[in-house]
């Protein structure tokens, strides 16, 4: 093992809000596998380059079981939360994970998601109709970026329209570190109870939603179906919402780029890939723990040592992307790692892509005068926490 570096994680942004924190950039300059300190006094490895991040995420000698000793969870609070949520949302990497993943990938196949596009378009239009009727300035996060993914996940799971507000509010609190651990756990508990109730209802009266599909498949007991619903909510709601708000902001800060998209809406698919790369909202990396000694980037990672695969620095690897710090909607960014890689690669990526493509294209088309309604310098960003985001985005048009 090499001696500890002075770098510690998680790092806060210290320059432009779209730049990767300097600590991670420095780590990437030091090498593809760098030892860093964590707030709980332990150490882990930062995997920083594109090739090594892919290699580690594809290597079954690294586990994503957050309960294993050495897994880089940073704080005791997070460890406690993982422990309490484990019963309902098992995310490990054994045969059981493969079986469950197969059940879900069937629900998120590109073809199935494509069939949802007209409904997503309608949700985007309805949300915009309301926002436009109210008139600017509005907070784009609470009026658009959050309600759209929330409505989509409700549609997918089969959550009744009357429960949408409850669902959106609690799921936001559940992942809001600013709300504090107690409020987060309370929101999680309320959602767990809600999911259990909803699953029981779907058992009595099945519909076309994912919960009913999972129940009728007979592959999972009802409590695990409810847990899976919660997992999807956790994994798919705040992520897409953060991406939507930050993407809009990034486009507004690069004025030539939205014009290009308006002129040629066909560019939106590639643009979303580039925004996913440039923004890399999973900002503090994805954790793994080595199950045996493994050589990575010239370093030996010992069994039991934790690693953080830094998607952010991998996505700005100069060896893979030219001028990586530039947002360039015309570039081919498809090799970005924002949805991870390997057996845990994001299940919901087709859905997230469809939502982002439809929402951004529609927003720019319907509001050609869209602009910030507050100084950029006054915006507050979600720093340090798992998903990067902007707290509020005041806009007008």
Nearer to ligand HEM, 1 or 100 (CB): 100
Binding piece for ligand HEM, criterion CB under 6 A, among 124-132, 180-188, 255-263, 335-343: 335-343
Sign, CA torsion 220/222/228/232: positive
Residue 47 Cβ, how far from ligand HEM at the closest point, in Å? Answer: 12
Binding of residue 344 to ligand HEM (CB under 6 A): yes
Residue 286 Cβ, how far from ligand HEM at the closest point, in Å? Answer: 4
Binding of residue 281 to ligand HEM (CB under 6 A): yes
Nearer to ligand HEM, 139 or 355 (CB): 355
Binding of residue 339 to ligand HEM (CB under 6 A): yes
Residue ranges with strand state E in the chain: 33-37, 43-47, 62-63, 138-139, 286-290, 294-296, 299-301, 306-309, 371-372, 381-382, 389-390, 394-396
Residue 347 Cβ, how far from ligand HEM at the closest point, in Å? Answer: 4
CA distance 58 to 167: 34
Residue 220 and residue 103 in contact, taking contact as beta carbons nearer than 8 Å = yes
CA distance 84 to 207: 30
Nearer to ligand HEM, 109 or 371 (CB): 109
Residue 310 Cβ, how far from ligand HEM at the closest point, in Å? Answer: 11
Name residues contacting ligand HEM, limited to 122-161 (CB under 6 A): 153
CA distance 259 to 24: 32
Nearer to ligand HEM, 320 or 374 (CB): 320
Nearer to ligand HEM, 36 or 314 (CB): 314
CA distance 280 to 316: 10
Angle in degrees, CA 138, 141, 142, rounded to 5: 75
Residue of 258, 285, 324, 340 that binds ligand HEM (CB under 6 A): 340
Residue 299 and residue 33 in contact, taking contact as beta carbons nearer than 8 Å = yes
Name residues contacting ligand HEM, limited to 59-88 (CB under 6 A): 64
Stretch 227-246: interaction string toward ligand HEM, x if CB under 6 A? ----xx--xx--xx--x---
Give the three-class secondary structure for 127: helix
Name residues contacting ligand HEM, limited to 90-119 (CB under 6 A): 91, 101
Nearest to 362, CA basis, from 61, 153, 118:
118
Residue 387 Cβ, how far from ligand HEM at the closest point, in Å? Answer: 8
Residue 3 Cβ, how far from ligand HEM at the closest point, in Å? Answer: 28
Q: How many residues bind ligand HEM (CB under 6 A)?
A: 23
Render 137-199 in DSSP notation, one character per residue.
SEEHIIIIITHHHHHHHHHHHT--GGGHHHHHHHHHHHT-GGG-HHHHHHHHHHHHHHHHHHH
Nearer to ligand HEM, 184 or 314 (CB): 314
Residue 274 and residue 18 in contact, taking contact as beta carbons nearer than 8 Å = no
Binding of residue 225 to ligand HEM (CB under 6 A): no
Residue of 338, 354, 359, 372 that binds ligand HEM (CB under 6 A): 338
Binding of residue 248 to ligand HEM (CB under 6 A): no
CA distance 116 to 343: 25
Sign, CA torsion 221/226/229/233: negative
CA distance 61 to 59: 5
Residue nearest to ligand HEM (CB): 348
Binding piece for ligand HEM, criterion CB under 6 A, among 78-86, 182-190, 346-354, 375-383: 346-354
Residue of 348, 363, 390, 395 that binds ligand HEM (CB under 6 A): 348
Residues of this chain that bind ligand HEM (CB under 6 A): 64, 91, 101, 153, 231-232, 235-236, 239-240, 243, 281-282, 286, 338-340, 344, 346-348, 351-352
């Amino acid at each position: 093992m090499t001696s500890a570096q002075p770098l510690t994680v998680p790092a806060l942004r210290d320059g432009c809000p779209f730049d990767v924190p300097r600590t991670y950039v420095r780590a990437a300059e030091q090498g593809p596998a760098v030892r860093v300190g964590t707030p709980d006094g332990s150490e882990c490895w930062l995997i920083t380059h594109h090739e090594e991040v892919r290699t580690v995420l594809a290597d079954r000698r690294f586990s994503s079981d957050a309960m294993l000793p050495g897994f880089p969870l940073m704080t005791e609070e997070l460890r406690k939360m993982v422990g309490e949520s484990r019963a309902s949302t098992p995310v490990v990497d054994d045969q059981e994970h493969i079986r469950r993943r197969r059940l879900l990938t069937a629900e998120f196949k590109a073809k199935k998601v494509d069939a949802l596009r007209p409904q997503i378009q309608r949700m985007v239009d309805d949300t915009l109709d309301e926002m436009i009727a109210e008139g600017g300035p509005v907070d784009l996060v609470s009026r658009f970026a959050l309600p759209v993914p929330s409505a989509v996940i409700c549609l997918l799971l089969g959550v009744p329209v009357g429960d949408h507000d409850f669902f959106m509010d609690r799921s936001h609190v559940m992942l809001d570190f600013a709300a504090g651990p107690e409020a987060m756990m309370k929101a999680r508990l309320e959602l767990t109870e809600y999911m259990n109730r909803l699953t029981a209802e779907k058992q009595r009266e099945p519909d076309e939603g994912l919960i009913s599909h999972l129940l009728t498949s007979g592959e999972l007991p009802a409590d695990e179906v409810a847990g899976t619903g919660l997992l999807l909510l956790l994994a798919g709601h705040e992520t897409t919402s953060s991406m939507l708000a930050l993407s809009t902001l990034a486009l507004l800060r690069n004025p030539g780029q939205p014009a290009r998209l308006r002129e040629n809406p066909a560019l939106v698919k590639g643009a979303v890939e580039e925004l996913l790369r440039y923004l890399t909202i999973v900002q503090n990396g994805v954790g793994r723990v080595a199950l045996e000694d493994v050589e990575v980037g010239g370093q030996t990672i010992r069994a039991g040592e934790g690693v953080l695969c830094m998607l952010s620095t991998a996505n700005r690897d100069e060896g893979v992307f030219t001028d990586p710090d530039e947002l360039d909607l015309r570039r081919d960014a498809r090799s970005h790692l924002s949805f991870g890689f390997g057996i845990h690669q994001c299940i919901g990526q087709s859905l997230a892509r469809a939502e982002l493509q439809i929402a951004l294209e529609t927003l720019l088309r319907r509001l050609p005068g869209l602009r910030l309604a507050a100084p950029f310098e006054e915006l507050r960003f979600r720093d340090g926490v798992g998903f990067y985001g902007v707290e509020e985005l005041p806009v007008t048009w």
